[in-house]
Amino acid sequence: MPKLTPLSEAISAHVHDGDTVYAAGFTHLIPFAAGHEIIRQGKRDLTLARATPDLIYDQMIAAGCARKLVFSYMGNPGVGSLRIARSELEAGRLEWEEYSHFGMISRLQAGAAGLPFMPMKQTAATDLERANPQIRRITDPYGGPDLITVPALNPDVAVVHVQRADSEGNAHLWGIIGEQKEVAFAAKRVILTAEEIVPEATIRSDPNRTLIPGVVVTAVCHVPHASHPSYAQGYYDRDNEFYLRWDAISKSAEMTRAWLDEWVYGLKDRDHYWQKLGPEIHERLKVAPRPSAPVDYGQY
Amino acid sequence: MDATFTYSSAELMIINAARLLCDGDVVFVGVGQPNLACNLAKRTHAPNLVMIYEAGVIGAEPARLPLSIGDPTLVSGSLSVVSMYDIFALYLQRGNVDVGFMGGAQIDRYGNLNATIIGGDYTQPKVRLPGSGGSQEIAAWANRCYIMTPHQKRRFPEKVDFLTSAGFLDGEGGRQRAGLRGSGPVTVLTDIGLLEPDERGELVLTALHPGKTVGMARENTGWDLKVASQLRTTEPVTEKELRILRQELDPTGIYLGSE
């Protein structure tokens, strides 16, 4: 199977019921298109891991994809509560495992580096240590104070959205780079979606910007606007209005179902979704250019 | 100045928080009120403030009001953007952050914070809150912390329902025994006044905002709040501070409302 493939085929081939999935992106480049495709394909019993579950996991939980949530901040960023994840968790219908941000990201760092765990300095947040037996202590073999450890996280599949990649999955990303690189190295399979598919020469023109190399990428999908209502730095803005609107939609199970019917099940793919958003929203999310000064790698 | 001008509780807290920042401080900023406090300080007495955002942005100079911790306006024109692992490891854990801003649903007598659950127990909480995010590490590793919160009894219990982030733990010497960095929550800013730790790590009332009373502070605190022998009054809010907040920083009043 060639790496460059439609998103629906990548999800169908590489996301299986029961998998641990990590959809990357700290506020930025959240792979909503892949999340919606997972919903459309009716994947079940997933363990959904993400530092900030964000709306993407709220929607996947609402659609019945999730068995368990692994997280470090379960809120609607800039708005308030993440209502569906929270109510499922309060009702005991959703298993969960909780870390701090640094704990969560250290798990990926360990997974990416092929280590069994990662040490961190103590924070004295002992209630979370008691609540989550996966957070443990070790003696510093060099004689310093005890350290906290968290186990490696090696997701079955990572979904990562980037600004541009070549057809082998060598990917440039910029702006907030969260945990995309770590999760791409930690995961067993990587589905990469990209705003643009560019020639290999474009990637080679700026190799320092390649955070994810094609060697760890399983599938590459060309999916413009894949991150809405999150954003892609330099391509389109965050749709804060939608984050606010989700707060209202997710208050009601009926409204949530209706939204999923209209915006996920009722649509074929992301192009369809973007068209349906319409010119007014396209215009509102437009970004003026602010290019960096080019660097010169030199001809050797 | 017009003696009759009014301001909201949020404006009062933001302005007082801004005044606590020193020029050159490296500040770990949150969105909302802390972001406004830092930008106000930068536009007044602390032009060399370095603002760091949890999303991995160093030296942000936001051109518009950021509406989320990962707002793209934080990135454009910043000094550096790093991964989440790096922001927590190289900046916080290594000790390169002077000031952390914190919030939480509960703050207790010893400045410990809860942002995890209210009531019930961890596995069956009555109310589930978002959880630590980065606050556990900010509280432990920033050189000093400021907490901003409305002064309400339910927010100031004797003891937090869940220890999300460390203040002074069980009191005197608690932070040192636990191996934490820094001086912990040195000021809690409320709409009534300022609470600061005494030598035993207990939060006591050290200042009132103009027009506020000791009775108001004590009534709205869940423990027997002590009052410092040298109780201060905070400097009145100035027209200039309000103008910058309202006209330059949050012109539509998203974070300047009444709470």
- Using an 8 Å CB-CB cutoff, list chain A residues near B174: 124
Examine the pLDDT at B31 and tell me if it is beyond 90: no
User: What is the spatial distance between Cα B68 and Cα B88, in angstroms, rounded to a whole number?
Assistant: 19
Cβ within 8 Å, pair A125-B164: yes
* List of E strands, chain B: 26-29, 50-53, 57-58, 80-81, 99-102, 106-107, 113-114, 117-120, 125-128, 144-148, 185-189, 193-197, 203-208, 227-233
* Cβ contacts of B97 on chain A, cutoff 8 Å: none
- CA of B103, closest CA in chain A: separation in Å? 13
* Beta-carbon separation of B141 and A181 below 8 A: no
**DSSP letter for each residue of A27-61:** SBS--HHHHHHHHHTT--SEEEE-SS-HHHHHHHH
Q: How far is B135 from chain A (nearest CA, A)?
A: 8
Q: How far is CA B20 from CA A11, A291, B37, B186, in A?
A: 51, 36, 9, 10
Q: Which domains does chain B have, with CATH numbers?
A: 9-249 (3.40.1080.10)
Residue A251 belongs to a domain = yes
CA-nearest residue to A88 within chain B is B128
B130–A176 CB contact, under 8 Å = no
Q: What is the model's pLDDT at position B4?
A: 58
Closest residue of chain A to B138, computed from CA coordinates: A123
Kindly state the tokens that stand for A172. 């440039």
The 8-class DSSP code of residue B99 comes to E
Provide the mean pLDDT of chain A. 97
Entry pTM: 0.96
Which chain A residues contact residue B127 at CB under 8 A?
90
pLDDT one-digit tens code per residue, B130-187 = 999 999 999 999 999 999 999 999 999 999 999 999 999 999 999 999 999 999 999 9
Residue B3: pLDDT over 60 = no
State residue A137 phi and psi, 5-degree precision. Answer: -120, 145
Active site residue B54: yes
Give the C-alpha distances (Å, rounded to integers) separating B3 from B6, B7, B10. 9, 12, 19
pLDDT band, very low/low/confident/very high, at B259 (cuts 50, 70, 90):
very low
Smallest CA–CA distance, residue B3 to chain A, in Å, is: 35
Tell me which residue range forms the domain holding A263: 7-78+154-284
Establish if A51 belongs to a structural domain: yes
Do A140 and A147 touch, CB atoms closer than 8 A? yes
Residue B66's nearest CA partner among A228, A247, A101, A240 is: A240
> Is the residue at A42 inside a domain?
yes
Min CA distance, B182 vs chain A (Å)? 12
Q: Do B81 and A71 touch (CB under 8 A)?
A: no
Instruction: Dig out the tokens for A299 from the structure.
Output: 């001809």
Digit-coded pLDDT (tens) for B183-214? 999 999 999 999 999 999 999 999 999 999 99
Is the CB of A27 less than 8 angstroms away from the CB of B69? yes
Cα of B69 to nearest chain A Cα, Å: 7
Question: B153: which DSSP letter?
Answer: G
Q: For position A186, which CATH number holds? A: 3.40.1080.10
Count of the separate structural domains present in chain A = 1
Q: Using CA atoms, how far apart are residues B91 and B81, in angstroms rounded to an integer?
A: 12
CB contact under 8 A, A124 and B175: yes
Interface test with chain A among B31, B74, B136, by most A beta carbons within 10 Å: B136
A21 in any annotated domain? yes
B68 Cα to chain A: minimum distance (Å): 5
| Strand boundaries in A63-185, DSSP class E | 66-71, 75-76, 80-81, 95-98, 117-120, 136-138, 147-151, 157-165, 171-172
Residues of chain B in contact with residue A243, where contact means CB-CB under 8 angstroms, are 68
pLDDT of residue A79: 87
**How far is B245 from B255, CA to CA, in rounded Å?**
10
Residue A92 in domain: no
Mean pLDDT across A268-285: 98
Report if residue A101 sits inside a domain: no
pLDDT beyond 50 at B1: no
Would residue A212 count as lying in a domain? yes
Minimal CA–CA distance to B194: which of B147, B161, B241? B147
Nearest CA in chain B to A244: B67
Taking only residues 120 to 179 of chain B, the set having a beta carbon closer than 8 angstroms to any beta carbon of chain A reads 122-125, 127-128, 130-137, 139-141, 162-166, 169, 174-175, 178-179
> Residue B176, class by beta-carbon neighbours within 10 Å (0-12 exposed, 13-18 middle, 19+ buried)?
exposed
Nearest chain B alpha carbon to A130: B122
Chain B residues near residue A99 by CB distance under 8 angstroms? 132
For A105, the closest chain B residue by CA position comes to B85
- Segment A215-254, tens digit of pLDDT: 999 999 999 999 999 999 999 999 999 999 999 999 999 9
Give a yes or no: residue A129 inside a domain: no
Question: Which residue do the tokens 């905002």 mark?
Answer: B209
A27–B68 C-beta distance less than 8 A: yes
Q: Tell me, what's the pLDDT at A1?
A: 67
Tell me whether residues A124 and B180 touch, CB distance under 8 A. yes
Residue A141 pLDDT more than 50? yes
- Tell me if B70 and A177 make a contact (CB, 8 A cut-off): no
Contacts of A106 in chain B (CB under 8 A): 85, 88
Residues of A with CB below 8 A from B71's CB? 27, 78, 238
